[in-house]
């Protein structure tokens, strides 16, 4: 395992010193992967979770600092337990033996050197899903070519000022559009088997934020203009305030039906392929129990 690095893995390019257990970069991650939970997970899109669940591995820490993150305990507070690449590869095998549809790496970018090592030790025979915030460097994504089968990125903002204010990232829309193009180059359009389970390709998510339908419409326009029928979209309306958003004047409430319908109508008018998650799915019960096991 890499025990000391000067890090430029993500678009922040901190050039920060990272040691095994500590890091001075924006993500604060050391080089040893930290895990909050490993288990079958049933709350991704139907083509990812199916009826057997995705083999979810929730990594602690994140390169984005979203103030509304529903996983803020693990993403912002970096709570979790460290794991070696050897142990991680054993966890892939265990999940596979449980019959999950895929290995679902959630917010993994900050630990990529150790994760690549884990796949050198054992590459599962089920699809590998890379579940991320969309704020990725192309050079870093290239190291995943041939390993990742399904990219599951967010496309959060068309308004870069919101990316800066809510997630602490610069030039989000340009960075995310280039990253998405690279993901599509590697894996192509989403392919689903006869049982309705994704096997390869890209499924891009967008979470509608309260008071920001214009941002959402801008995101859908970017996806249409740049990727059109090659992209499959998952439009999410299940926002609920968490973390710092609980005290934010705009983000401290759920979406209204009118806001959700306005963005959904735009998705339909653009004739983009995809899923729409209902407003009724805005519920705390979808958040895993962080037992650090």
The residues with which 63 forms a beta bridge, in sequence order, are: none
> According to CB under 6 A, which one of 1, 2, 4, 10 is a site residue for ligand SF4?
10
Question: Using an 8 Å Cβ cutoff, are 222 and 155 in contact?
Answer: yes
Tell which one of 13, 87, 142, 257 touches ligand SF4 (CB under 6 A). 13
Interacting stretch for ligand SF4, rule CB under 6 A, among 21-29, 122-130, 141-149, 154-162? Answer: 21-29
Stretches 1-9, 34-42, 95-103, 155-163: which one binds ligand SF4 (CB under 6 A)? 1-9
Q: How far apart are CA 199 and CA 61, in angstroms?
A: 28
Please, what is the minimum distance in Å from the beta carbon of residue 147 to ligand SF4? 18
List the one residue from 1, 3, 4, 9 that touches ligand SF4 (CB under 6 A). Answer: 9
Q: Which strand (E) or helix (H) includes residue 235?
A: strand 232-236
Site membership for ligand SF4, residue 12 (CB under 6 A): yes
Residue window 51-90: x/- pattern of binding to ligand SF4, with contact defined by CB under 6 A = ------------x---------------------------
Shortest spacing between CB 137 and ligand SF4, in angstroms:
9
At 257 the three-state DSSP class reads: helix
Closest CB to ligand SF4 among 10 and 47?
10
Residue 169: closest CA among 144, 139, 134, 141: 134
Both tokens of 234, joined, read 């998952």
Among 8, 199, 226, 261, binds ligand SF4 (CB under 6 A): 8
CB 216 within 8 A of CB 209: yes
The answer to whether 14 contacts ligand SF4 (rule: CB under 6 A) is: yes
Three-class SS state of 225 = helix
For helices 257-270 and 213-227, give the axis angle rounded to 10 degrees: 10
Tokens found for residue 224: 């249409």
**Residue ranges that bind ligand SF4, judged by CB under 6 A:** 7-10, 12-14, 16, 18, 23, 25-27, 29, 63, 110
């Amino acid at each position: 395992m890499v025990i000391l690095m000067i890090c430029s893995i993500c678009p922040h390019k901190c050039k920060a010193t990272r040691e095994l257990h500590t890091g001075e970069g924006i993500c604060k991650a050391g080089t040893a992967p930290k895990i909050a939970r490993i288990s079958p997970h049933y709350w991704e899109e139907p083509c990812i979770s199916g009826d057997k669940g995705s083999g979810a591995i929730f990594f602690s820490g994140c390169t984005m600092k979203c103030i509304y993150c529903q996983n803020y305990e693990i993403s912002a507070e970096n709570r979790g337990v460290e794991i070696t690449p050897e142990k991680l590869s054993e966890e892939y095998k265990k999940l596979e033996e449980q019959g999950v549809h895929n290995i679902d790496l959630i917010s993994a970018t900050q630990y990529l050197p150790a994760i690549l090592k884990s796949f050198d030790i054992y590459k599962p025979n089920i699809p590998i899903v890379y579940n991320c915030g969309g704020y990725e460097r192309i050079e870093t994504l290239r190291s995943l070519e041939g390993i990742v089968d399904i990219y599951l990125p967010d496309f959060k903002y068309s308004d870069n000022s919101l990316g800066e204010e809510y997630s602490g990232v610069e030039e989000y829309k340009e960075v995310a559009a280039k990253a998405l193009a690279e993901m599509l180059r590697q894996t192509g359009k989403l392919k689903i088997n006869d049982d309705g389970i994704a096997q390869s390709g890209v499924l891009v998510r967008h979470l509608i934020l309260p008071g920001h339908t214009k941002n959402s419409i801008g995101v859908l326009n970017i996806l249409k203009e740049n990727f059109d029928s090659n992209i499959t979209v998952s439009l999410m309306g299940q926002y609920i305030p968490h973390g710092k958003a609980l005290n934010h004047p705009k983000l401290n409430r759920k979406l209204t039906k009118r806001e959700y319908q306005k963005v959904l109508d735009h998705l339909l008018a653009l004739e983009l392929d995809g899923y729409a998650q209902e407003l009724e799915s805005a519920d705390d019960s979808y958040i895993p129990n962080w037992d650090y096991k």
